[in-house]
Chains A and B, each alone.
Chain A
Amino acid sequence: MFSGIIDRLNDICIVAGKELRHCFRDSHVLIYTVFVPLILYPVSLVSLSEYSLWREGLAETRPIHVAFEKDGLDKIPEFVAAVKEAKRLKVVESDNPIGDLQQGKLECVVDGSKAPESIKIILNQASDRFLETKVAMATKTFEARGKAMRKALEEAGCETKVIRVFDIVTTSVGTIGGRKAKLQDMELTAFSTTMVLVAFYGYTMLIITVGAVYPALASFTEEFEKRTKNTTYMLPVERSSVVIGKFSAVVMLTLLSGMVNFFSMGLVAVYFTWKLDWLRRTLALALKQYSLGNVILLLVVFLLSTLLVAAIYSLMAANAKSFKEAQNASSLILVGITILPMVALLPGWQLNELTALVPILNMVLAAKAIVTDSLGSFEMICASMETIAVTAVLVYLSQVVFWGREPADRVPEDKLATNPSTGEG
């Protein structure tokens, strides 16, 4: 019995080895598994960042032009001071501010005539710097409001410490037990967590999927298209060994694709952290959240997701009549697989006894639970077991549909075209 298992494993390894060699010589596999993640992603992300930095530089050399309506200028000294102090804003004199705003000579006009009840900030929505101006002015408004409040309190002889109630300090739930580093800034916490979630769920599921498509197509559909299935069938090996061997190759190539993607993402992250100081701080905060155990759990989730996605594509490819049909079907599956991570990101979706039984969604929610430090052992075990079980069923079905299409079940093509009375082809 033991030698039988060894023999079988040996057969699986031989098939997987052949598939790896065959797949690695396929241009589709090479492009989508290696070259796209290794070249396209870093190039496009770095280009985007360079573009953003260029825009940033442009903003510094070409500040946002702000004009004040002369009527009411003296009513908003804190606001005027805040705008004048800002590097990216430049106060300009204008006899006809609204007219200049309409002509694009200005980005913003401030009307303080009704202060202190209200300050009107007029923007030009047609300007390509509309959003930038809106954010800058909102920040300055907030800053000026604080200064004005402090001044008003001082003038009224009140204690200005009261303003500190607006200095909000937040910590994550994990910090209560003292297990985590304190996350002092709410924005950074939210940003870093979201960034990791998006990176893991969206991007990772996408790359797993893209990485699995062409190896699966090359391994299964080519057996039909190139008419090698009968010779494979003639081999004195278990049918399941052939399919498991093919599936193993798809898994290995998908994992490789994932690793190449992570390496590529790593390069991009290094580049960004070198360029952007705030990102370095954000990443440092994000990384502090993860213990070694969490990282290992994330890798387990990645491995399980890879197995499942590879099984889905293996079944799809084994069931397709041709490479083209499988290619079309893979697009639909791609949409399904990448939508679930997005659903899981919505508030309220958590890993529980029910969601643990939904394939893919459970893996995404497990990752979410790991990141937010709310993972329950029972749910994780349920989700893992369910994923392994579904993978096993899909691989079994791949075997059934792959070999089930043997000519024994249908009329061979030469017989279909034959006249029964004459035997003519």
Chain B
Amino acid sequence: MADHDDDVLLVRECLRGDNNAFCKLVDKYKVPVYNLAYRMLQSEEEAEDAFQEAFFKAYKSLDKYKLKYSFFTWLYTVTLNICRNRLKKKRRYFVFSINEPLSDDNKLTWQIADTDMAPDVLLERRSDMSLINAAVQSLPDKYRAVIILRYLEDMPYQEIAEIVKLPLGTVKTQIHRGRRLMREYIKGERGGTNDV
């Protein structure tokens, strides 16, 4: 709640003409917005464009934002809509492969929290994490969006339903199906075994 109040304060300052207040919001939410854009669009260049577009669109339509809602939820909705529009445009020009993994030139570095692991275990864990990451990226857009919000942003079901504008039951079903698809992907990659 304190977080929401802080955001509302910054939004009010921005609406009064203090653009630096919005810059603070950009700084605060840069990672989740970029992460969502990158995971949805699967391209660094597209993610950067969507990132800029999302914040600028949010800035210009700040007077439409209702203070009773979470700013983060609203910003996420704006970002997700931008990503969806970009994906739609993309499909007009070529067939989008849902099995296409991340490009090799991405800047992702895996950080395993437990550094006391033996090197071979650490290597295996990294491999597991890469596989799970690829499984997320392999999902169809609608499942990927809810999986990102649920597991990577740790959002409650109700908040996800507000962002994707779907009934709560549909969101739960999509998450369930998304998980199942990821499990199948991992199983396929491992040649039939399904252990994490």
Is chain B found bound to chain A in the same assembly? no
What residues of chain B have their CB less than 8 Å away from a CB belonging to chain A?
A: none
The interface of chain A, by Cβ under 8 A from chain B, is none
